[in-house]
Amino acid sequence: MQDCRPAPLIWAKKLDAYVEEWFLRKFGDGLICETVFDPGNGITERVAEIRATRERMRGDREAELYDSPDDAQWFRQRYAALRQELVSREREPQRPREWSAAPPGRPSRTAGKRHPMSRPARRC
| pLDDT tens digit sequence for 41-50 | 999 999 999 9
Does the predicted model carry a pTM greater than 0.75?
A: no
Strands 98-102 and 121-123: unpaired
Length of the chain: 124
Over residues 46-74, the pLDDT tens digits come to 999 999 999 999 998 888 887 788 888 99
Q: Are 108 and 100 in contact (CB under 8 A)?
A: yes
Q: Where are the domains of the chain?
A: 30-123
